Amino acid sequence: MSLAALPILVPLAAGALSVAFWRSVAAQRAIALAGTLILLFVSILLMQQVHSEGFVVLHMGGWQAPLGITLAVDMLGAIMVLLTGITGLAIALFSLGDTPERHEKFGYYPLMHLLLAGVAGSFVTGDIFNLYVWFEVMLIASFALLTLGGERAQMEGAIKYVTLNLFSSAIFLSAVGILYGLVGTLNMADIAQKLGQVEDTGMVNVVAVMFMVAFGIKASAFPLFFWLPASYHTPLVGVSALFAGLLTKVGVYSLFRMFTVVFDHDVAYTHTILLWVAALTMLSGVLGAAAQFEFRRILSFHIISQIGYMILGLALYTPLAIIGGVFYIMHHIIVKTTLFLVSGVTYRLTGTHELSELGGFYRERPMLSVLFLIPAFSLAGMPPLSGFFAKLIVIRAGIEAEAWTVTAVALLVGLLTLYSMVKIWAEVFWKARPEAEDGVQRPEPRTEGLVWMYVAITGLAACTIFIGLNGQPIYNLAEVAAEQLMQPQGYIDAVLEGRP
Amino acid sequence: MTLLSVVLLPLIGALLVPLLARARSPLIPAIASGIVTLAALSLLLLQAPTVLSGELITSEWAWIPSIGLSIAFRLDALALFFATLITGMGLLIILYAHFYFAGKPGAGRFYALMLAFMGAMLGIVTSENLLFMLIFWEMTSLVSFVLIGFHSDQRPARRGARMTLVITGGGGLALMAGIVLMGSIVGSFNLTDILAAGDELRAHAHYPLILTLVLLGAMTKSAQFPFHLWLPNAMTAPTPVSAYLHSATMVKAGIFLLARLHPALADTDAWLYSVSTVGMATLLTGAFIAMFKHDTKELLAYSTVSHLGLITLLMGLGTATALVAGLFHLLNHALFKAPLFMMAGAVEKATGTRDMRRINGLWRHMPLLTIMSAITAASMAGLPLFNGYLSKKMFFIESLDANVISPLNWLTPVLAAIAGLFSAAYSFRIFHNVFFNGQPRELPVWPPRKPALGIQLPIILLAAGCLFVGWQAEGIVHGLIRAMATASSGVKAPAYDMGQLHHVGPAFYMSLAALIGGLILYALRERLFELYDQLPPADAREIFEWLMTRAGNGAERFVHALENGSVQRYIALIILTAIIMAGPVLANVVWYGAKPMTPADPLTILGAILMMATAFGVVLGHRNRLFALLLLGSAGLFVTLTFARFSAPDLALTQLSVEVIAVIIMMLALSFLPQTTPVESSRLRRSRDSIIAVLGGLGTGLVSFAIMTRPQDSISDFFLEQSVPGGGGSNVVNVILVDFRGFDTLGEITVLGIAAVAVFALTRNLQLKHRIPNERDQYWASNPHPLILRTMARPILPIALMVSAYIFLRGHNMPGGGFIAGLITVVALSLQYMAGGLAWAHDRMLTSFRPLIGGGILLACLTGLGSLFMGLEFLTSWFGHYELPVLGHIELATALLFDLGVFTTVVGATMLILANLGKLMTVNGPGEEIG
């Protein structure tokens, strides 16, 4: 039996159940834990199924592709779903310890589940309009989570967030419409096949560019990333971490999906644009981070620069580069989530995200320091952590493709990332905490629930070490994913098998 | 296996020692570290006979074979020497550190980091796989970073650590690129293959690039000019760290790399010029600056820089004899520099300062240390009989033979002699200043504490080593150094003519000149210091920080220029991006397809014109928000009419209900906002924005036109065909919604549910400014619920609900369905609110809206799951026809259940939004929650 629908249905049901149990926060907490655990379990099962069968296809309602909605999970999809499961569980654990009552009572947990449903839906669907629907689910859920606190800064960030993302949705929807006009179908595999017969490559390129812009906004690529640094530092840390880990990666995933399986007709045009986008995204993100002195804003800008590495993998469009890109996505989701969660602990203990007001954690909390250093050095691409291998593969792909400029940019950005992580380390951990100003009493740190937070962070940190030490199996997964993407015929055949 | 354990032992030790740090006695972690190190050292020494006989020991395990990374070790004479140096010196440092830290907290942390560093360093020198080596290479940078910042509460320590990491880390990245490039060319990352492919590499077009990248890695690590700046700033580390990492081991890693890759990259002009020039520059800079440093550790740091330059220079010359000289000097440098650092640390502990202007005449207080330092300083100065003299003389001989640029051949020995002169001067200085030169001045600790014997023990051992090497030079050069040179160059090194070291020739005079000149220089030191002080001050750390701040400011300006918080600008950028990206291909687009146009009737044209006019009106009148909203509503109505005109009654019905609800909700929201939008942007910007908007709109319109005019072949035909036989309904739109593409609908009702929850949470948590009711409000408030409306509303409700039920039930076959029915119900219910007021309505209404939302989504999910139990795919519909009493013929379809879920969610969500927004705007504020 095909398990493709379960990663959507589990969080969807968990979300609906949580809404139904609105008045019982205790029940919602239990559902949060159970729901994300089951999601992780399901995602592992799905990964196994994809691993053994190659593609897992499910025709919703029994309507064969391309007529109904088809879910189609290839290795890339399965990897992304698995990462969603891991991140979801970590966020749920963290949230159990860190979510204030005011948020818990107003739908925090249901929104979290529904966001996960949207994310998972985007990864498993093989239908371009259905992808749009899951984007909407994600967008509205994330907007709700952003505004849950109702604070002024959150509103400001949320309005920018929702405006620019709605704009992206509008472009996406127009692109879907035009594409439908061009090929008369919504199934991605079918689109891929029919696009091959379209002679008007000019129009195909126009549509491709529209998708690129729409997904580029979602992925926060240059110069479309503004909504991200405007909003990611405002909500609860758990929410930031969930967004940081998964949301932009949905955009990246969609770029990978569309610009391998669907739009491979004029690589010289589309992927050259992507190459420039990748270089500029890496650079602008890391430069943006250099100018920041707020923990989460630094991390937010680094999301952007790291997205550049992933797009670089796609843009180089060689098997090795795609492997690198996929590896990078895997590594990044885990590491970035961890870093945001660490900022949550320091915030809990001090009540601030400003580097100038933080300090002293190296002496006070050596355990936390280690838990920061692992993902931070991993993000900066230091061995033997996951980021090192991710960067190594991408750099190698760049060198072998003789794309010198962009490879040099990637190396330089790696160095600046290291500098940035060290800046946080020196300010937050090494430096002694500055004295409070006269008369201002520091709030007592709230320590209840810290255990949950530590469990989440430790688990994720273990993941980045695990990826580093078990590079080969992970590489194999990425390799399968890349092969499937570079030879889309397998995907197309699997989806359209048995078509009327 | 042995090699693996050699590397793993310290690394595992590093993980375990922190656990011992809580032990009562500080001796325990020290002893544990010592045992681990000793074990690694003994394992190495057991291999010595095999390795020195010229055999190569290798072992390999797979790690990530796909990228060429394997856990591969090799042990030859070169690796063995370095590994022994690392472990042997490590042992002495642990002994030293035990007394240096004497009961201070943090010693456990220190041992752990030391062992981690030792493991990484051993990994570098014993790796067979270059990627594997790179991992250890970066690890040493990281551990060194943490060790330099050991006193993390001190700002200079943090800054020094940061600077070091950025420089060595940057070098590491360059090295990574270089290694990857080599590996790609050779097809393997294993040293054996790469060293064998030297000719291929040197002939390759990318050779200059490889060389540059690898050298960048080596030069940054080994503190070569101009990257030497980090080393003096790393002196904020505790002295055991300086002695170990920054004189004996880590800084030699770059030189090790040069020696290791010699067969692959050396023996070209590019190598000769670049490496020897850098070495010479480093040698001179270091030697010159060292003389003027008043801080003992800083003087030693610059002296280290200079000696590293010397060795690099010899590596650059690249001949077999130069290699021998370089490696011999490397051994000697470790032997005399580490004890000098240890001396500086011991003196600091005894006196509380490292300032040589204050520490003087310590010979009275620590005679043993004086004698030992005399030996090591003499070795550093290059006094005859000591080991340093021998390797330095070898260097002079090489400089005389060097053939760098033939007309300038005289330059190399001259510069070498000058460097030797400075080197002698600072050696005299550190010894004479500390132990003689009059009386101590204002020492922070007075009288100086007597250094423990334990802290002096490693110094004594190393000083003895200096003497031993000086005495047994021939045996060591021939037994060890030659084997190393052979292992390094891959060619059997010829016997070194030791006789020329005792020969009185040009090299002897150069040594003599350097020593005498050094003495003179030292005698003139006060004058020189005055001159030096007049030079412009240049603190590398300040420059580095300044650079970083400047870069940060530049970045800030750059980011601000892009990201200034204006949503208009962001959207303008997005549209511009799309236009620019699509621009180049627009010429290739077929703008007009072959399909004939539908004839236009006057009514349609009028409708289109009106629709455009309303849209344009919204743009023009958007400053008056109420007006704009009303126009927006009318634009929506024209869209509805368009749907109706082109025979899409379902869409028209839906659009109509959505427009009504949307306008009501927006009206509610508007009451919290100012009535007008102020003019904020300049005329110029508005013109810019309108151009962009017109371009974007024109583009979209043209593309749509191009698409609509071409012939189409789509899956729509299938839907028309299959609607009745497959979906059991003749209303194709509804069958698409609940069956063909029911999964989309499931997603969309989720969106609606979430939106309702979001509005609910927002209305509860939002802190709004207090609204000041104006007079118009008063007027309306005085008669809030007009009698006619109130009377009419009540009978409308049951009728509307009946209509809703009818629309719902017939939806599958005729225009209608759950979504529309839901909206009709909502309109009817909200009419009750308007007519009777919130309180009135709530008294008479079930208000569990949230469970409705959850229940609706669950019902839709469950309908889908039901088909799974029937062994069908998720959401597979089923339908049948029945004859029922009274009702007659009826068709039942599972799709109806799904539609019921849609209906429930729509009602729950919309009511939740309306009720809470409505409640928020009452005078009492949000009050108790609804729903």
Residues recorded for chain B = 931
Domain residue limits at A404: 6-436+445-496
Closest-CA distance of chain B to residue A213, Å: 6
pLDDT score at B777: 53
- The pLDDT tens digits of the residues spanning B617-653 come to 998 888 888 899 999 999 999 999 999 988 888 889 8
Q: Could B152 and A288 be called an inter-chain contact, meaning their C-beta atoms sit closer than 8 Å? A: no
- Among chain B residues, the shortest Cα distance to A128 is held by B744
Q: How far apart are CA B767 and CA B275, in angstroms?
A: 67
pLDDT score at A82: 97
Q: How far apart are CA B285 and CA B281, in angstroms?
A: 6
Q: Could B874 and A423 be called an inter-chain contact, meaning their C-beta atoms sit closer than 8 Å? A: no
**Taking residues A238-263, what's their average pLDDT?**
94
Q: Could A395 and B180 be called an inter-chain contact, meaning their C-beta atoms sit closer than 8 Å? A: yes
pLDDT score at B784: 61
Q: What are the residue ranges spanned by the domains of chain B?
A: 269-523, 602-680, 731-931
Q: Could B176 and A163 be called an inter-chain contact, meaning their C-beta atoms sit closer than 8 Å? A: no
Which chain B residues are closer than 8 Å to A140 by Cβ?
Answer: 751, 754-755, 758
Of the partner residues A178, A213, A380, the one whose CB lies closest to the CB of residue B578 = A213
pLDDT score at A438: 60
Q: Could B718 and A202 be called an inter-chain contact, meaning their C-beta atoms sit closer than 8 Å? A: no
For residue A70, list its beta bridge partners. Answer: A59
In a domain, A273, yes or no: yes
Q: Could B139 and A383 be called an inter-chain contact, meaning their C-beta atoms sit closer than 8 Å? A: yes
Which chain A residues are closer than 8 Å to B872 by Cβ?
Answer: 62
Which residue is listed with tokens 């009148």?
B621
- Among chain B residues, the shortest Cα distance to A416 is held by B166
In a domain, A352, yes or no: yes
Closest-CA distance of chain A to residue B557, Å: 9
Closest-CA distance of chain B to residue A18, Å: 8
pLDDT score at B489: 87
Whether pLDDT at B873 is above 90 = no
Whether pLDDT at B514 is above 80 = yes
Closest-CA distance of chain A to residue B568, Å: 10
Closest-CA distance of chain B to residue A435, Å: 14
| Contact residues for A187 (Cβ-Cβ < 8 A; gap 6+) | A65, A66, A70, A126, A127, A128, A495, A496
ipTM: 0.93
Whether pLDDT at B504 is above 90 = no
Closest-CA distance of chain B to residue A26, Å: 17
Residue ranges of alpha helices (H) inside A54-127 are: 75-98, 101-104, 108-124
Closest-CA distance of chain A to residue B68, Å: 10
**Phi/psi at B75 (nearest 5 deg)?**
-130, 110
pLDDT score at A248: 93
Lowest mean pLDDT among A121-130, A453-462, B479-488: B479-488
Q: How far apart are CA B798 and CA A94, in angstroms?
A: 49
Q: Could A129 and B161 be called an inter-chain contact, meaning their C-beta atoms sit closer than 8 Å? A: no
Residue ranges of alpha helices (H) inside B68-197 are: 77-101, 107-126, 130-148, 155-186, 191-196
Q: Could B744 and A22 be called an inter-chain contact, meaning their C-beta atoms sit closer than 8 Å? A: no
- The pLDDT tens digits of the residues spanning B71-89 come to 999 999 999 999 999 999 9
Closest-CA distance of chain A to residue B801, Å: 25
For residue B59, list its beta bridge partners. Answer: B73
- Among chain A residues, the shortest Cα distance to B875 is held by A61
Number of domains in chain A: 1
Q: How far apart are CA B806 and CA B817, in angstroms?
A: 9
Of the partner residues A184, A384, A395, the one whose CB lies closest to the CB of residue B176 = A395
- Among chain B residues, the shortest Cα distance to A410 is held by B173
CA A409 from chain centre, in angstroms, equals 23
pLDDT category of residue B885 using cuts at 50, 70 and 90: low
**Sequence-ordered strand ranges (E) for B227-267:** none
pLDDT score at B584: 87
Of the partner residues B176, B855, B876, the one whose CB lies closest to the CB of residue A392 = B176
**Taking residues B412-418, what's their average pLDDT?**
89
| Contact residues for B123 (Cβ-Cβ < 8 A; gap 6+) | B7, B132, B133, B135, B136, B139
Q: How far apart are CA A225 and CA A284, in angstroms?
A: 10
| Contact residues for B769 (Cβ-Cβ < 8 A; gap 6+) | none
What is the CB neighbour count within 10 angstroms for residue B588? 14
pLDDT score at B719: 84
Q: Could A382 and B138 be called an inter-chain contact, meaning their C-beta atoms sit closer than 8 Å? A: yes
Contact A89, A242 (CB under 8 A): no
Q: What is the DSSP string of A400-468?
A: HTT-HHHHHHHHHHHHHHHHHHHHHIIIIIISPPPPPPTTPPPPPPP-TTHHHHHHHHHHHHHHHHHHH
Structure tokens at A461: 């940190």
Which chain A residues are closer than 8 Å to B586 by Cβ?
Answer: 202, 206
Q: How far apart are CA A348 and CA A444, in angstroms?
A: 10
pLDDT score at B122: 95
pLDDT category of residue A311 using cuts at 50, 70 and 90: very high
Identify residue B503 by its one-letter amino acid code.
H
Whether pLDDT at B205 is above 90 = yes
Interface test with A, best of B575, B581, B692, B859 (most A CBs within 10 A): B581
**CA distances (Å), origin A375, targets A332, A336, B158:** 9, 7, 20
- Among chain A residues, the shortest Cα distance to B909 is held by A19
pLDDT score at B558: 79
In a domain, A1, yes or no: no
In a domain, A232, yes or no: yes
Contact B487, B393 (CB under 8 A): no
- The pLDDT tens digits of the residues spanning B317-340 come to 888 889 999 999 999 999 999 999
Interface test with B, best of A209, A267, A322, A331 (most B CBs within 10 A): A209
